[in-house]
Structure 1
Amino acid sequence: MTTSGTTAATLAIPDGTLYYELRGSGPLIALVGSPMHTAPFAPVADALATDHTVLTTDPRGHFGSVLADPHSASTPEVRADDLARLLRHVDAGPATVFGSSGGAITTLALLQANPELVHTAIAHEPPVSELLPDRDRQREVREDIVATYVAGDTVGAIRKFFASADIQMPEPVFQQMFGGERSAAAIANDDYFYLHELRETSGWQPDLDALRAVPTRLILGIGETSAGQFCDRATRALGTELSIEPVLFPGGHGGFTEDPVKFADRVRDLLA
């Protein structure tokens, strides 16, 4: 299916189907989220598509990427295998891979398993909590979030999730996004994330020796307004382990949604 310059398609995988979109032409760049799907990436994808072929995808278990077993765990390794399959299927690489948040962890797992598929990797604010000195507390917080969700307090779990990330959201914005009646797709999305993805992603332990050894260029990114937040601390901890100085990107944790054009220009600057 092609709409407004965007081609949407699916790829069969052993345990389900992956939904993906392609737009633009030029060197391949993949924009990767977890649980963020194709729609929030669309504005920055459009901005990059003027001189790149841009791949976006719904991660497994979310929206258009349907699993045979909707209760299977979404580990970074499995998501990295999904991404590797997509990159081989598109056959336009090696690619630049930009991963945000949980998608940054997917990107790191891809580097560990298939560095030959990646030209440049940009890991933007990966929540690698196991590298932090307060990792035990982070595990307790994570379990409390999941328990709150299982108890049926979806809004409470979402509030705790944002609090754990040290992200302050104005109450009117929070209510607009999460306070009203939610669609069946949004509920299914939340179910999969809180029950089958959050622990696996934030509790992931990177193979530091493998990441030090990859020939691929790895850039660690932090939002200009993320100072002191959980992902700022986690990214800097990873940078210390890998001897990589993180670079700043416009905005905060989701800076590519705040000013997509400015964010795309920052990506181009780094690739140049």
Structure 2
Amino acid sequence: MTNPATHTLDVPGATLTYDVRGPVPAADGSPPLLLIGQPMGASGFGTLASHFPDRTVVTYDPRGLGRSTRSDGEATHTPERQAEDLHLLIAELGGQVDLFGSSGGAVTGLHLVATHPEDVRTFVAHEPPLLTVLPDADAAFAAEQRVQEAYDQRGWGAGMAAFIALTSVQGEFPDDFGRELPDPAVFGLPTQDDGTRTDPLLSGVSNAVTAYRPDIDALRAASTRVLIAAGIESKDTMTWRSSAALAELLGQELTVFPSNHGGFLGDEYGQPGQPVEFAARLHEVL
């Protein structure tokens, strides 16, 4: 795998920073493999990219995250805006990609395929956190709000501890979720409030991601081959259930991957998944 070459692309209201590993176009004519997340940017995909030496691999930071700056005066992160950014990036890359989207990146990918299906040959949507497709959507949104309240009232450690509790719930959300939240110290998180309230995962600026309503008819009609995926260790958690519900709406079986929500990670954040097995599965489904 070649070292990534870093580029920037000016789009309306932002400058996107992206990394390319390999030639564009590829020598064999295959489209680049674009790996996207949200709120995670390119920094989380180094290990996964290294397992595709046969492909040109592209990663990027969404607008306002990581190295990508924004000049639109906005703070919120929406799948619709990010999908339009990706549409312009894909045009810069030659006009079509294979796409792997993780978490919020999977939600962005759903909107991209619904609106620009010609941009994507195959799309693997890994654990999109779509609360709207859950049968207990009202309780799920209430639980999400409780996480954001914990962050707003007590800071990052408390908010992240609440988020861990949220993502650990098995099955439908109880009506009393958040009545008692875990001590951040249990997870080795800080108990002191540093005063910041800018975390894109906890502050509410990414609420449009979990509130996104996918266009099922457009996705089913798209020329793109769409696969909805989830990690086996996530079974019965929120993102497994949202993935399974979306797969059912699209008339397909859920595509099961090894490991968990971050199963493709190496040592990027100190919580490695099973990147070798995960990459092998992604090779297989692509």
Of the candidates 32, 36, 42, which is equivalent to residue 38 of structure 1? Answer: 42
CA distance in 1, matches of 2:41, 2:118: 25
Q: 2:66 aligns with which of 54, 60, 63?
A: 63
Displacement of 1:193 = 3.7
Q: Say which of 247, 253, 277 aligns to 1:245.
A: 253
Name the aligned partner's letter for residue 135 of structure 1: A
- TM-score for both structures, normalised by structure 2: 0.83
Contact preservation (8 Å) 1:74, 1:196: no
| SS of residue in 1 equivalent to 2:84 | helix
CA 22–245 in structure 1, closer or farther in 2 if over 3 Å, else same: same
Q: Deviations over 1:131-180 (max 9, x none)?
A: 11110011111222222222242111111122212279xx89942xx539
* Aligned 8 A contact 1:224 1:248 in 2: yes
Residues 1:264 and 2:279 are matched in the alignment: yes
* SS of equivalent residue, structure 1 residue 255: coil
Aligned length: 260
CA spacing shift, 1:269–1:116, aligned 2, 3 Å: same
The 1-side partners of 2:96 and 2:186 are apart by 39
- Of 88, 91, 95 in structure 2, the residue corresponding to residue 88 of structure 1 is 91
Structure 2 contact 148–204 (Cα < 8 Å) conserved? no
Cα 1:146–1:230, aligned 2, differ >3 Å: closer, same or farther?
Answer: same
Gaps of 5+ in 1: none
Residue 123 of structure 1: SS of its match in structure 2? strand
Q: Distance in 2 between matches of 1:152 and 1:13?
A: 37
Per-residue CA shift, 1:228-271, capped at 9, x if unaligned?
11111111100111111011112111110123232222111112
Q: What is the aligned-residue identity percentage?
A: 35
CA RMSD of aligned residues (A): 2.6
Q: Distance in 1 between matches of 2:193 and 2:35?
A: 26
Give the match for residue 54 of structure 2.
Answer: 51
Choose 1 or 2 for highest CA Rg: 2
Output the amino acid matched with 1:238. Answer: L
Residue in structure 2 matched with residue 72 of structure 1 by the alignment: 75
Deviations 1:96-121 (A, max 9, x none): 10000111101101011111000000
Task: Normalising by structure 1, report the TM-score.
Answer: 0.87
Structure 2 residue corresponding to 1:145, chosen from 123, 130, 147: 147
Contact 1:72 1:196 in 2 (8 A): no
Alignment partner for residue 211 of structure 1, among 219, 222, 239?
219
Deviation of 1:13 after TM superposition, in Å, equals: 1.3
SS in 2 for 1:191: coil
Q: Which has more helix, going by share of residues?
A: 1
The one-letter code sitting in structure 1 at the alignment partner of 2:190 is G
CA contact (8 A) 1:250 1:263 kept: yes
